[in-house]
Amino acid sequence: MDILASISGIKPKVLLDDGQEVKMSSMTTENLWKIKRTGGHYICSCPAWIYQKTPVDARTCRHLKELFGFNYEQIRINNNPAVPAQTKASTPAPDATPTNKRKRVARAISVSEDDSDSDNDTDNKTPRKKAKHDAPNSSSSISSAPSTIAVSVLLAQTWKEDKGCDPTGYWISEKLDGVRAYYSKGAFYSRLGNRFYAPDSFSEDWKSKLPKNATLDGELFTGRNKFQDTVSIVRSGSSNRWPEVTYYVFDAPFLMNKQFEERLAFLKSIFGEPDAPTYPNVRVVEHTKCKGKSHVLEMLEQLQNKGAEGLMLRQPKSMYETRRSSTLLKVKTFYDAEAIVIAHHAGSGKNANVTGAIECRMECGKTFKIGTGFTDAQRRKPPKIGCIVVYKFQELSKAGHPRFPVFVGEAIDKTVPKDAVIRVLDAADDDDE
């Protein structure tokens, strides 16, 4: 059942599908504002909505009220546990008495999803100071933990097959395409310190087992290729879909001075082994000892075929650092593609007298350079201009150019370039880990 289709018996004037966006004209200016549904709440591009110091699912504005109806919006906000008690029902109903002021009639214009802005991030990215409003209204289902806290987490660097460290002995785990979540004093927070309003029932079975100063680092996850579903549930103040979420915990920041293996042992002592969890909605992320580079690539391919986003590599005996560190590495999918060589570029340093990079054109017409993957002999005698070469890369930039391209060899049986077919995931390439 659609949780926004009717709230306390009140239906909206318009019901948007998840991800649907409309444009609405301002009632006082010539501006057009974007209104979009994201899971169990709505967002508006107007300044009044953006600069509110409340969670995104606890905001409204005149444009939302105009589109969905004042009574519906008031009930939607009042029913949200993330809204401070003193703000609920504080906005008077619109005055129905005619006035002499000339009003512009607001109108909604449908837009396709292709025209909409990306909304994969779990935090509002508009620069603003941390909110200092009171804690959410306490109830039987939502605790009164702070709405925002200071959070500093360990962030990963990227492992590159050609230049990366030898991963032998590292711990390999799946990179989950969920929502990064920091647990502290009974509540979950984003890596920017904004609270996720999970019902108390989500953690009531195990929070008493933790030391009072315990903090956890993990991922709220509903399954592979379900990032948007996870975001929808986590962002919403509604608790009816939280049972679909599992908290995959991979570290304990409060034990930052202990080695990773000790921190992992602590997590297992509370939550059980990865394949035998103690509680139904929290699991310790499984870690496998790496046997070498080929092991990483094999696991990457196996998990990729199952829909995984990638892998994580954890340095053995490493401490928990509150910064981006080489002790944690993310491994993304490598794609193979073919391009035509259009130029040679001289190198520098040790490659000053040989080819430093070849410039290539993709099937789609975009050009880029490949500077790694060559042997010394290949640099002395690079692929000829006009020939087709095979290269691999981890991802495309926003402009569509291969990032971290690596030369593989010449495609002697090919006469035209061929771009890679990129596997599409729900999750954007973010810095959650």
Please report whether residue 417 resides in a domain.
no
Residues 327 and 260 in one domain: yes
Residues 385 and 350 in one domain: yes
Please report whether residue 286 resides in a domain.
yes
Residues 245 and 342 in one domain: no
Q: Which of 209-223, 227-241, 324-338 has the lowest mean pLDDT?
A: 227-241
| Residue 319 vs residues 153, 170, 257, 258, 327: alpha-carbon distances, Å | 12, 14, 6, 6, 8
Please report whether residue 296 resides in a domain.
yes
What CATH number is given to the structural domain containing 195?
3.30.470.30
Say which DSSP state 67 is in.
Answer: H
pLDDT at 30: 63
Residues 264 and 178 in one domain: yes
Residues 185 and 296 in one domain: yes
* Final residue in a domain of this structure, among 291, 306, 331: 331
Mean of pLDDT values over 164-173: 95
Mean of pLDDT values over 384-407: 88
Identity (one letter) of the amino acid at 142? I
Please report whether residue 201 resides in a domain.
yes
Of 145 and 90, more confident: 145
Residues 313 and 359 in one domain: no
Residues 320 and 344 in one domain: no
Residues 307 and 257 in one domain: yes
Of 28 and 243, more confident: 243
Structure tokens given for 338: 């073919």
Please report whether residue 68 resides in a domain.
yes
Q: Which residues contact 381 (CB under 8 A, 6 or more apart)?
A: none
Residues 370 and 272 in one domain: no
Which of 34, 36, 65, 175 is flagged as catalytic? 175
- 374: helix, strand or coil: coil
**Number of domains into which the chain is organized:** 3
Structure tokens given for 282: 């929290």
Residues 368 and 244 in one domain: no
The owner of tokens 């496998």 is 288
Please report whether residue 270 resides in a domain.
yes
What is the rounded CA–CA span in Å between residue 52 and residue 125?
A: 13
Assess whether pLDDT exceeds 70 at residue 197: yes
Mean of pLDDT values over 363-392: 93
What is the rounded CA–CA span in Å between residue 340 and residue 61?
A: 53
Please provide the DSSP assignment of 300-315 as one string.
Answer: HHHHHHTT--EEEEE-
Nearest-Å Rg of the Cα atoms of the chain is: 26
What is the rounded CA–CA span in Å between residue 330 and residue 342?
A: 32
Mean of pLDDT values over 212-229: 90
* Final residue in a domain of this structure, among 331, 365, 388: 331
Identity (one letter) of the amino acid at 20? Q
Mean of pLDDT values over 95-118: 35
Please report whether residue 98 resides in a domain.
no
Residues 244 and 315 in one domain: yes
Residue 175 annotated among the catalytic residues of the structure: yes
Domain that residue 393 falls in? 335-410
The owner of tokens 């599409």 is 424
* Final residue in a domain of this structure, among 331, 366, 383: 331
Residues 319 and 230 in one domain: yes
Polymer length in residues for the chain: 433
**Would you say 33 and 23 are in contact if contact means Cβ atoms under 8 Å apart?**
yes
Please report whether residue 2 resides in a domain.
no
CA 124, 125, 128, 132 dihedral sign is positive
- 267: helix, strand or coil: helix
Q: What are phi and psi of 300, to 5 degrees?
A: -60, -45
What CATH number is given to the structural domain containing 385?
2.40.50.140
What is the rounded CA–CA span in Å between residue 23 and residue 4?
A: 19
Contacts 24+ apart (CB under 8 A), 92-101: 94/65, 94/70
